Structure 1
Amino acid sequence: MFEYIKGILIEAKPSYAIVETNGLGYKLNISYLTYEKIKGLINKEIMLYSLLVVKEDALEIYGFYEREEREFFIKLNKVSGIGPKLALSILSYSDINLLKSAINSEDVSKLSSIPGIGKKTAQKMILELKDKIKFSGEEGNSIYEAREVLLTLGFSLEEINKAFLNIDKTKTTEEIVKEALKFFSK
């Protein structure tokens, strides 16, 4: 129904943002990754791709900084056992390309390490999404490998996800690790 909402960012919290446009304030549920990209833009104009979810007892608007994140949210939401809240939680937990890589490599243990995702749900995600996601294997493998290297070095998933926000994901594993280490040394 709504392709996007463009307006002034009034408030941003890790789980929602309020955007004012034409005198109306829209509360959009957002992922932590979207929050990280907009949190410094209070009182500035932003645009979030949106999705209206109709429930029996409520209408909820979900906002996404990137169109790809919204498309992946829609796909996650279609997996049996994953509703909008869990789909948003999954997106908040990890970079989209890391999620796609785990799905493509059928890495049940990585997917089931996400809070709220058990082994059966991880298997359903793989079964229902593996053929539906567009993914560049090389790109995904370098991100996945870089993540594994950084985890081995003792960094948390939250730290790694923050470091990956502004890294060019088409680089080699080594280049991604080097850029992430520069981020951590700031």
Structure 2
Amino acid sequence: MIYALKGQVVRVSDPYLYFSLKSVIFRFIVVRSKEYKLNEETTLFIYKVFYNEKEYVFAFKEEKERHFFVELLKINGIGIKTAHKIMSYATFFDLVTAINSENHAFFTKLKGVRKTNLEDLFRHFNKKQNKHQKLVNSPIVEDAFIALSKLGYLKSEIKEAYKKIESLKIEDLEELILTMLEVLNNER
């Protein structure tokens, strides 16, 4: 099974992405197709599903999005169309934040997702969390925690600093570390 491909975006036609790999062009179903730029060199993470005797091939910009999609499919009542709709609804970070905080209001405008689906979704991901973090905590946040702990900061200090800036939704590792350092240094 193909897990990832590196190539070039040659056409975007929502929800499809046409992807060139040397002399072969693939068509994938993608979420948030507007995020892709023509002639952009990128790596896509692939997931193939057989549903009602048809083959569907999904591609994701990041491995964590692919993993999230697979987890959505494990939830009773959520099939490929609903999972695709959920992931196309907002950015990955916003979805994770809404799920981690069990924010029902966030999903109210999403047609086709019933209240029972939402309850199952929240329950599924809450089972996945470990003692210190919610399920799909961004790898960027994890990397920032590791970097700051190597600089000698205590985990408790790092957690407190992150809580203060979490609402900023910083998605760049360098910016996140610098912002957290500012908070940490102001508290000393």
Give TM-score scaled by structure 2 length.
Answer: 0.67
Alpha-carbon separation, structure 1, partners of 2:136 and 2:75: 16
Mapping for residues 50-129 of structure 1, pairs under 5 Å? 50-129=46-125
Alpha-carbon separation, structure 1, partners of 2:163 and 2:110: 18
SS at structure 2 position matched to 1:131: helix
Mapping for residues 28-43 of structure 1, pairs under 5 Å? 28-32=28-32, 35-38=33-36, 40=37, 42-43=38-39
Alpha-carbon separation, structure 1, partners of 2:163 and 2:97: 5
CA contact (8 A) 1:100 1:140 kept: no
Structure 1, residues 5-37: CA drift from partner, whole Å, max 9, x if none?
A: 2223221123110112243221100001xx233
1:142 shift after superposition: 5.3
Alpha-carbon separation, structure 2, partners of 1:140 and 1:55: 42
CA contact (8 A) 1:79 1:128 kept: yes
RMSD of aligned alpha carbons: 3.2
Q: Which runs of 5+ in 2 are unaligned?
A: 129-134, 142-158, 180-188
1:109 shift after superposition: 2.6
- Distance verdict in 2 for CA 1:20–1:44, change over 3 Å: same
Aligned identity (percent) is 23
Q: Which runs of 5+ in 1 are unaligned?
A: 148-163, 173-186
- Distance verdict in 2 for CA 1:46–1:101, change over 3 Å: closer
Give the structure with higher Rg (CA): 2
Alpha-carbon separation, structure 1, partners of 2:28 and 2:87: 15
- Distance verdict in 2 for CA 1:62–1:128, change over 3 Å: same
- Distance verdict in 2 for CA 1:142–1:31, change over 3 Å: farther
Q: Quote the residue 1:13 is aligned against.
A: 13
Give the ranges of 4+ consecutive aligned residues of structure 1 lying more than 3 Å apart after TM superposition.
136-143, 164-172
Q: Which has the higher contact order (CA 8 A, sep 6+)?
A: 1
SS at structure 2 position matched to 1:80: coil
- Distance verdict in 2 for CA 1:80–1:60, change over 3 Å: same
1:44 shift after superposition: 4.2
1:49 aligns with 2:45: yes
